[in-house]
Amino acid sequence: MDITFIALAALTFTLAGFVKGVIGLGLPTVAMGLLGSAIPPAQAAALLLFPTIVTNIWQMASGPGLGAMVRRLWPMLLLAGTCTWLASGLLTNGNPRLALAGLGAALIANAAIGLRPRPFPRLPPQHEGWAGPLAGAATGVVTGATGVSVIPLAPYLGSLGLPRDQMVQALGLSFTVTMVGLASAFGQAGVYSDGLAWASALCLIPAMAGMALGNAARKRISPETFRRWFYFGLLALGAQLIARGFG
């Protein structure tokens, strides 16, 4: 890694951490979108694993009733982690251009969901038994193919009508499971080398610094305004990645 890429990685994770600090999400999405334009998506996903897992464990542990949340979501979590591991070959051994285009499509879908003017329809509790595992399996396939875990995980959790603190905790818990599955698969495939593991660990420093800046800025910036412009930026970035993938 030359000095130019080190500077790019530091700026990327500072920005990604800042976004997460202001609106509570977006670190892996921003990091994958920006790094995916500079290095192969599989390497970009490997680089963001450590900062993503650590920050999401923090987010998961800070919420109330973690045990009850695990008991409610475990079928979804099990399928999400397993299918991420099984589908990771799409990212590590597949066509890099298709992976880039898939990442762009995931970013656009994420932005479209974030810009949705109305809340998600409520899912009746009696349907969680089949909808949770289905959402988990689909999320695992998308994560294994693109390194981004938002689709369709976020819409499913949004449909449960969870209070804000529980929603944030559920997202942190779910993202932790998918990223651990991806890390396991990358280690087995030889993608997660010692050098890349150390680089990923070092990326936690700018990510945490960015989160601290974002937490401070939250008091001065309207989170809703920032969220809106963030998703508009994702739309543009996703379109650029799709163009590069098929160009």
pLDDT, one tens digit per residue, over 81-99 is 999 999 988 888 877 778 7
Q: What is the pLDDT of residue 70?
A: 93
pTM for this entry: 0.81
For residue 144, the tally of other CB atoms under 10 A from its CB is 25
| Nearest partner of 26 among 162, 160, 171, judged by Cα | 171
For the residues of 114-154, what is the DSSP string, one character each? HT-SSPPPPPPGGGHHHHHHHHHHHHHHHHHHHS---TTHH
Instruction: Please identify which residue in the block is written with the tokens 């003017």.
Output: 117
Q: What is the pLDDT of residue 46?
A: 86
Beta strands in the chain (DSSP E): none
Instruction: Please identify which residue in the block is written with the tokens 């810009």.
Output: 115
Distance between CA atoms of residues 30 and 158, nearest Å: 21
Distance between CA atoms of residues 148 and 151, nearest Å: 8
Q: Is the peptide bond before 51 cis (omega within 30 degrees of 0)?
A: no
Question: Of all helices (H) and strands (E), which one includes residue 63?
Answer: none
pLDDT, one tens digit per residue, over 51-84 is 988 888 887 887 778 899 999 999 999 999 999 9
66, 173 Cβ separation under 8 angstroms: yes
161, 122 Cβ separation under 8 angstroms: yes
| Nearest partner of 106 among 12, 234, 229, judged by Cα | 234
Which structure tokens are listed for 61?
A: 């542990």
Per-residue pLDDT of the chain (247 residues; tens, 9 = 90+): 578 888 889 999 999 888 888 776 778 878 888 887 788 888 888 888 899 888 888 878 877 788 999 999 999 999 999 999 999 888 888 777 787 788 788 888 878 887 877 777 889 989 999 999 999 999 999 899 888 887 888 889 888 988 877 888 888 899 899 999 998 898 888 777 777 888 889 999 999 999 889 878 877 877 777 778 778 877 887 887 788 777 6
Distance between CA atoms of residues 247 and 48, nearest Å: 26
